[in-house]
Structure 1
Amino acid sequence: MNPIPLPGLVNPHDLSADRQFSMNLARGLEVLRAFTAATPLLGNREIADRTGLPKPTVSRLTYTLTLLGYLSRDAHGQKYRLGPGVLSLAHPLLASMQVRQLAKPLMESLARTTGCTVNLGVRDRDQLVYIDSVRADSTNQHLPDIGTTRPLLPCAMGRALILGCTAAQQTAILNFLKVKNRAEFEQYRPLWEADRKRFAAHGYCHSKGDWRKEIHAIAVPVRTTLGDSPLALNCTISAHRAPRERLGREVAPLLKEAVHQLEIAQGLR
């Protein structure tokens, strides 16, 4: 069996013939992923529609996940929400990521100096996930919490996370995005191409309201000791506080220096 170079870039149904692959476990995890911040409460029919799984299969999985503490029933017993067990799974990962502790003072200094909100993120499938944040721009109405997700291509940080990968990995991620949603991929492809060139020339990605028109951002990938999981650091600021080319001219050099220092602290330079 050929190794999967980037975990997550696979449809479980494509591995149905792989005897080492546990389809039941994969289906259970797909049920958990059906819940989002926008839709925290789902019934079996809604989960079936979101996952493509048969409703009887979903019923068995939600029953099992509820008994194990990964789902909780609502007061009327007809719908489910994520349970405390899911939160308990995340903490050991965050606590073991030493790069978060190393990055914190650098992020705080960068936020104080620039007035930007500074975030640290990692890629998960076709999304970026924030793993830390220092909130300095109180006018930003989209301040992320730890665990908040964003789509990759519309965001400067998402594009930086892709650019932090090898050429082969970048191709795999872009192919995954293209297959999952061709229309969305084509919509944001010009942003990707522009940032690919900007990164080659200037070493950072820049969003001028690409994801939310009222938010501007710049981002830089961060090499880590986490194997095939590069991180990215960004600075975000409300559009009215980012006149002309302030982010690129004033903030980008400071952001790149913070990334440089973070890589030194990890022993990578």
Structure 2
Amino acid sequence: MNTISLPGLVSPHDLTQDRQFSMNLARGLEVLRAFTPASPVLGNREIADRTGLPKPTVSRLTYTLTLLGYLSRDGQLQKYRLGPGVLSLGHPLLASLQVRQAAKPLMESLARSTGCTVNMGVRDRDLVVYIDSVRADSTNQHLPDIGSTRPLLSSAIGRALILACPAAEQRAILNYLQVKDRAEYDAQLPNWQADVARFQDEGYCHSKGDWRKEIHAIAVPVRTHLGGLPVALNCTLSTHRASKNLLTREVAPLLKEAVFQLELALGMR
């Protein structure tokens, strides 16, 4: 189990005796997290199945969230989708991120010079969530965008984010991932171990289609913290364009230089 408390790694069910913890709020947020790009419209039963919450509880929560504008109800389908209130919550965060503003011109320049799609991400539970993206590789069909997610352990940027953490936090994250999905953890463990050594020797992480076989990527963490969470940049290319070690030979030095310049701009060097 986790030895230290990190955002998103604690199950609400483990906090039932914590009098400071609002279980109703946690359940409402779990309802919002049930919606995904693949499942943007859900009924109460589907939400209950995804969250493990009783259907009467889900019904009260969806009713409340709809009145507050965080859900929209489709009367014809009698189901729900996320409402504009959810989107409005994210904008103040994005607008206030100094690292995002400072990185934008560097990301655009890196994308132009390499032909890679360049993304900036932070950790959210067991995922990477992109907080900015510059698309340059038009053959990448996964359409990275602000708010899109990638798995933490099977992506280069995810492993870079873990490696940016102190050793105790790394252990807590890895313990969480192992408990959550042991089969996936075991499958990705060799990639993680390879990147631990690679990062120590070369200063970057490398994915050769670990998440999606048609996408290769390299990633480097940034020496800055957003609310206690590390930030990382990656460069991604479609597999057919990433031949002959293009990413490691030509793109990696440019990515590391971009991160260095970003850290300079942020006063981290």
Same fold (TM over 0.5): yes
For residue 41 of structure 1, what is the aligned residue in structure 2? 41
Paired residues of 2:4 and 2:172 also in contact (CA < 8 A)? no
Q: Report if aligned partners of 1:30, 1:51 keep a CA contact under 8 Å in 2.
A: yes
Task: Tell me, in whole angstroms, the C-alpha distance in 2 between the residues paired with 1:263 and 1:83.
Answer: 36
**Misfit runs of 4+, over 2 Å:** none
- Spell out, residue by residue over 1:87-127, the C-alpha distance to the aligned partner (whole angstroms, 9 max, x if none): 00000010010111100010011111111111101110000
Amino acid at match of 2:173: I
Amino acid at match of 1:208: K
Matching residue of 1:84: 84
Closer, same or farther in 2 for the Cα pair 1:58/1:235, shift >3 Å? same
SS in 2 for 1:46: helix
TM-score normalised by structure 1 residue count? 0.97
Q: Which residue number corresponds to residue 165 of structure 1?
A: 165
Please list, as runs of the form range in 1=range in 2, the aligned pairs for 1:11-30 lying within 5 A after superposition: 11-30=11-30
**Matches of 1:139 and 1:50 in 2, distance apart?**
33
CA-atom RMSD, angstroms? Answer: 1.2
Q: Secondary structure of 1:224's match?
A: strand
Question: Counterpart amino acid of 1:217?
Answer: A
**AA matched with 2:171:** T
1:218 aligns to 2:218 (yes or no): yes
Looking at structure 2, the residues matched to 8 and 225 of structure 1 have their Cα atoms a distance apart, in angstroms, of: 16
Aligned counterparts of 1:54 and 1:75: Cα–Cα separation in 2? 22
Q: How far does residue 29 in structure 1 lie from its aligned partner after superposition?
A: 0.4
Number of the residue aligned with 1:10: 10
Q: TM-score, normalised by structure 2?
A: 0.97
Give 1:4 shift. Answer: 5.9
Give the share of equivalent positions with the same residue, in percent. 79
Amino acid at match of 1:155: S
Give the aligned residue type for 1:46: E
Q: Secondary structure of 2:221's match?
A: strand
Please show how residues 108-257 of structure 1 align to structure 2 within 5 Å. Answer: 108-257=108-257
Secondary structure, aligned partner of 1:178: helix
Cα distance in 1 for residues equivalent to 2:144 and 2:189: 25
Check whether the contact 2:4–2:168 (CA below 8 A) recurs between aligned residues. no
Unaligned runs of 5+ in 1: none
Kindly tell me the number of residue pairs found equivalent between the two proteins: 267
Unaligned runs of 5+ in 2: none
Cα deviations by residue, 1:184-210 (Å, 9 ceiling, x for unpaired)? 111111111111111011100001111
SS of the residue aligned with 2:229? coil
